[in-house]
Structure 1
Amino acid sequence: MDFNAKIAFNNLKMEIANELGYNYNNITDKVESNAPQDTIMGHAKNILAGEQVGGQMSKKLVELGEKALLDKYNSQN
């Protein structure tokens, strides 16, 4: 992955994590819940946080792709 693309991807991840009330850890490149870390509950909530953030990222990237395709199509007509 291109370095600039990785930065943009991580920025999107951080933005969505913050919107959902989670933390994005730049050092570990992971989304973390606000539950106590290093506990079973903390690990479970981190998994849920990662799933939710990943799902929202996928949705956002699809929306951006659709918009780009529509813009390209509309500019040709």
Structure 2
Amino acid sequence: MILFFGTRPGKTEIKRLPSVRCPYCNKVGTLTVSIASNYFHLFWIKLFKISTSKIAECSHCKRVYYNNEFTLEMENAMGMD
């Protein structure tokens, strides 16, 4: 019997944070968060999520924030959706 299993990325979810201020340039409404998840699959069927990574980017100053750099304001805005 042959089993096809492994990991593969899911669809990337993009969320805008309209009421959050960029900590670097202090502009409001310029942050966009990309959320990407990796899944374990068996016969190309997703079984469970292995990991999730979040990256925020400011469209004004182009500063990138990784998950460990998120402010409390960013975390709260993502949790509201």
Shared topology, TM-score over 0.5?
no
Provide TM-score, normalisation by structure 2.
0.28
Provide TM-score, normalisation by structure 1.
0.29
More RCO (CA 8 Å, sep 6+): 2
More strand by share: 2
More helix by share: 1
